[in-house]
Amino acid sequence: MGDPFYNLKNSIKKDFAGLSFSEERKNAVKETIRRKQSHLELHYWKVETLKNILESLQDGAKHGYDISTQLFRKNELSFKSNEGQLYILLHLLENKKIITSNWIEDRKYYSLTTKGKKHVASWEHRGSKQYASLNYLIEEASL
């Protein structure tokens, strides 16, 4: 039996053989994609937002709803119109090994890693320099 997609592949090759984009158009598409995905990088988020999330995990593991509730209590409204963005940020922090997660009874609980605890501790000891530490974290995590 032959390739069932043979005719389709040949048709696609013929239809798109002469298709090309200018460098200007390629760059415009890349820029549009970059802008739409910029919220997928830590540097997109406010320093205060990241600080509040990590501080909320300082007392122990919490699931997303608990973190969200604590953020609203602190008047952190970054996720008010789109709470799903919180989970994107939590996932970014997890990918950067700043937090970790575990599933417990159908809920995903997040907690600080050793690296995350070091950043929180450095803010407390440095006082007004805490933002420099968090900016460093953001820069490091965005690499």
The 10s digit of each residue's pLDDT in 44-101 is 667 778 888 888 998 899 998 899 888 888 887 777 777 788 888 888 888 888 999 9
Sheet bearing 107-112, strands edge to edge: 62-63, 107-112, 99-104
Provide the pLDDT for residue 102: 93
pLDDT at 32 over 90: no
Task: Give the model's pLDDT for residue 143.
Answer: 46
Cα gap 15→27, rounded to integer Å: 24
Give residue-wise pLDDT tens across range 4-16. Answer: 777 877 777 777 6
- Write the pLDDT tens digit of every residue in 101-114: 999 998 999 999 99
Q: What are phi and psi of 103, to 5 degrees?
A: -90, 125
Is 118 a residue whose pLDDT tops 50?
yes
pTM for the whole structure: 0.61
Q: Name which of 99, 91, 110, 97 is nearest 141 in CA terms.
A: 97
